[in-house]
């Protein structure tokens, strides 16, 4: 089952796909652009993986790591489907990252990899923007790069784990202004989902609503104000986002 969360007519609703439209929990059917899309559920702790696709790591010229490169993001960076993300004037390289997001469904502590998928409630799509101009080498990637307002797009749907036959064979694509720019497959994850859950739950407790953004494949290019960025993952849908300028945000 696919579930979303939208704002419509003064309230927040659970919503479901209805052909090309959306059906609200109260029965109303509306077009996709008539509602405001929120992140599909209340997000807990946000884990993100750096360099978790071999080809992308090569693209950014990194050698292999001793343990997964995990960093954390705050709740303020998250926006929903069809949201708008600001590109500061004067930066040289801002790029999207299409990622499979794993949603934890049960409290998890010291979980072995054999049992790890029992702790997964489902999946969604993440577009985890970065502005490389702001990279500094302290607690890298630093939050000014990775935790900006509107820099983490989630949705449109939360998809039950049971609806995905094989999460290790999902194709990811990013299309910028209609041109396919990024392509990968979850079979190429350096550290796979069970190993990530085993690793994280080995030193901390995971809780329902926590999400793990599993990293992005190769094919990141710069985006500019006005660009439409669409991230697609097989079986999960398509997540749309638009880049806006400083002027749109009242910044001179």
Partner 1 sequence: MFACADYLIHIEGDPLPRDVDAQQALALLSSDAGCRAPVTGAVYGTLLNDRAALLALGDTMNAAPYKAPPKAPILYLKPRNTLAGHGARVAIPEDATGVEVGASLGIVIGRTATRVSVEQAFDYVAGYTIVADISVPHASVYRLSVRFRARDKFCVIGPTVVARRHVADPDNLTITVKIAGRPAFVASTASSVRNVATLIADVTEFMTLAAGDVLTLGVPHGSPVAQAGDEATLSIGSWAPLRVSFVGENARDGGQP
Residues 29-58 that bind partner 1 (CB under 8 A): 44-45, 47
Binder among 144, 166, 168, 177 for partner 1 (CB under 8 A): 144
245 binds partner 1 (CB under 8 A): no
Q: What mask, x for binding partner 1 by CB under 8 A, covers residues 65 to 84?
A: --x-xxxxxxxxx-------
94 near 135, Cβ under 8 Å? no
Torsion angle of C-alpha atoms 16, 17, 20, 22, degrees rounded to 10: 0
208 binds partner 1 (CB under 8 A): no
Buried b (16+ CB within 10 A) or exposed e, 37-47: bbbbbebebbb
Nearest Cα to 13, choosing from 2, 29, 1, 25?
Answer: 25
- CB within 8 Å of 231: residues ≥ 6 apart: 96, 98, 125, 126, 127, 153, 172, 173, 174, 238, 239, 241
Compute the least distance from the CB of residue 93 to partner 1, in Å.
16
139 binds partner 1 (CB under 8 A): yes
How many Å apart are CA 248 and CA 252, to the nearest integer? Answer: 9
Binder among 33, 106, 112, 140 for partner 1 (CB under 8 A): 140
Residues 81-120 that bind partner 1 (CB under 8 A): 107
247 binds partner 1 (CB under 8 A): no
How many Å apart are CA 103 and CA 235, to the nearest integer? Answer: 15
> Of 122-130, 201-209, 226-234, 238-246, which segment contacts partner 1 by CB under 8 A?
201-209
Binder among 36, 54, 117, 143 for partner 1 (CB under 8 A): 143
- Contact residues for partner 1, defined by CB under 8 A: 44-45, 47, 67, 69-77, 107, 134, 136-140, 142-144, 147-149, 200, 203-207
């Amino acid at each position: 089952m696919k579930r979303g969360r939208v704002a419509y007519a003064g309230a927040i609703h659970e919503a479901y796909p209805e052909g090309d439209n959306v059906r609200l929990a109260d029965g109303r059917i509306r077009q996709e652009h008539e509602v405001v899309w929120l992140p599909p559920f209340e997000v807990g702790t946000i884990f993100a993986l750096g360099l978790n696709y071999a080809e992308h790591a090569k693209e950014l010229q990194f050698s292999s790591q001793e343990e997964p490169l995990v960093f954390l993001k705050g709740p303020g960076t998250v926006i929903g489907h069809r949201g708008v993300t600001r590109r500061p004037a004067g930066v040289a390289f801002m790029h999207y990252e299409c990622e499979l997001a794993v949603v934890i469904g049960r409290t998890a502590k010291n979980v072995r990899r054999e049992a790890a998928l029992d702790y997964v409630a489902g999946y969604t799509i993440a577009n985890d923007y970065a502005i490389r101009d702001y990279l500094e080498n302290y607690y890298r990637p630093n939050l000014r790069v990775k935790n900006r307002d509107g820099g983490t797009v989630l949705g449109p749907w939360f998809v039950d784990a049971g609806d995905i036959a094989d999460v290790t064979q999902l194709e990811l694509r990013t299309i910028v202004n209609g041109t396919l720019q990024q392509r990968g497959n979850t079979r190429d994850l350096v550290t796979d989902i069970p190993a990530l859950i085993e690793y994280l739950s080995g030193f901390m407790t995971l809780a329902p609503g926590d999400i793990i953004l599993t990293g992005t494949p190769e094919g990141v290019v710069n985006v500019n104000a006005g660009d439409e960025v669409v991230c697609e993952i097989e079986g999960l849908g398509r997540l749309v986002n638009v880049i806006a300028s400083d002027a749109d945000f009242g910044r001179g």
